Amino acid sequence: MNNDGSTAMRRRWMKGWAGGLLLVVLIASVPVAGVAGGLGFGVPFYTLNVLPALQQAPAVIDQAAQAWEVALIAEGLPPEVAGELAEEIEAVGDGISASIPAWTAGTSGILLQAVPIPHLGGALEFDLPFVVLDTLRFEAGWLSDAFALTALRWAEIDLGSGVWPIVVDWDEAVLSVAPEVRSLMLSTDVAKRIGLFIADIDLGFGVDWMCGRITPGITVLGGEFQETLGVLISGLHLETLRWSAFAVHGSVGIGIGPPFLRLYARIKGTVPISQSVSGGWPVTLGEFSGSVGMVIRF
């Protein structure tokens, strides 16, 4: 009696387990709009064109050096000494000016127009009940200086002194530099995914919004001409740099791996609809963005 009861209980348990598994499989196999099709984790990025800022740098540095020389003389420094200090700054601008032709030619020039800004992010995919477009995707990414420093430490990249913030002794003054970086990107698109057993490819289009800022975080302590360094820093436009852009994109992506877990790479051609920048240095949205990572599909 007890053995029969135990056997019947096991049979009921196995039937219930099998029925539940079958239900899960059936639900997962039906493409219903609004049901999540996948969850992604990776590194989304957009690019910035910094070439105009580089080309502007020599003139900005020269103007800042001249303003600093005037401020030093006003503080009582002999003109010849003030001129020598200003020439040190101008030499930096001259070096950049001499290097611009080499930096802007070939591959380096292309890279300056598409400097990648990587983010830590994720994505949600939803199945759509259409033939031409079968995937709706939302993606977001976040970047901060804390994330960047952690990534550098994980990669075992030497930061020089190994101290943050960076501290520089210069002409009896101490400069503390602690840049703050923030960036956010949001993207949504619809795509057609062509799936095979070990790979898939998707073609899509959508919209993006990106914004970011860099605050140099420069503090000057001590030094006989501490206040005049403020004139130099101001002349170099080392205030907070901010940018934002709204854009449309077309994308091509490829995924490799089993159907439920794939590594992917996606590249987007980006066209800005509107963008703004403030802070004294001209940067614009680059022509490319994208993401790499992995996606778990249900």
DSSP the chain: -HHHHHHHHHHHHHHHHHHHHHHHHHHHHS--TTSEEEEEEEEEEEEEE-HHHHHHHHHHHHHHHHHHHHHHHHTT--HHHHHHHHHHHHHHHHHHHHHHHHHTSHHHHHHHTSEEEE-EEEEEEEE-S-SS--EEEEEEEEEEHHHHHHHHHHTT---SS--SSEEEEETTEEEEE--EEEEEEEEEEEEEEEE-SSEEEEEEEEEEEEEEEEE--EEEE--TTHHHHHHHHHHTT-S-EEEEEEEEEEEEEEEES-TTEEEEEEEEEEEEEEEEEESSS--EEEEEEEEEEEEEE-
Residue 166: its pLDDT value, please? 67
Query: How, if at all, do strands 36-49 and 120-127 pair?
Result: antiparallel
Check: CB of residue 290 under 8 Å from CB of residue 267.
yes
Q: Supply the mean pLDDT for the chain.
A: 82
The confidence score (pLDDT) of residue 2 equals 47
Q: Would strands 115-118 and 135-144 be described as parallel, antiparallel, or unpaired?
A: unpaired
pTM above 0.85, yes or no: no
Alpha-carbon torsion 180, 287, 136, 40, what sign? negative
Residue 33, CB half-sphere, CA atoms under 13 Å: how many?
8
User: For residue 288, which of 151, 114, 145 has the smallest C-alpha distance?
Assistant: 114
pLDDT score, position 108: 85
Model confidence at 155, in pLDDT bands (50, 70, 90)?
low
pLDDT-based confidence at 157, cuts 50/70/90? Answer: low
**Residue 129 pLDDT > 80:** yes
Task: State whether the Cα torsion 104-107-110-114 is positive or negative.
Answer: negative
Query: Which residue has better confidence, 273 or 229?
Result: 273
Euclidean distance between CA atoms 246 and 276, whole angstroms: 9
Question: Which pLDDT score is estimated for 23?
Answer: 40
> Does 57 score more than 50 pLDDT?
yes
pLDDT of amino acid 256: 95
Q: Which fold has domain 41-297?
A: Lipocalin (2.40.128)
* Least-confidence region, from 22-26, 90-94, 112-116, 206-210: 22-26
If pLDDT is split at 50, 70 and 90, which confidence band does 225 have?
Answer: low
Which region among 83-97, 144-158, 193-207, 245-259 has the lowest average model confidence (pLDDT)?
Answer: 144-158
CA atoms within 13 A on the CB side of 87: 6
Q: Which amino acid makes up residue 91?
A: A
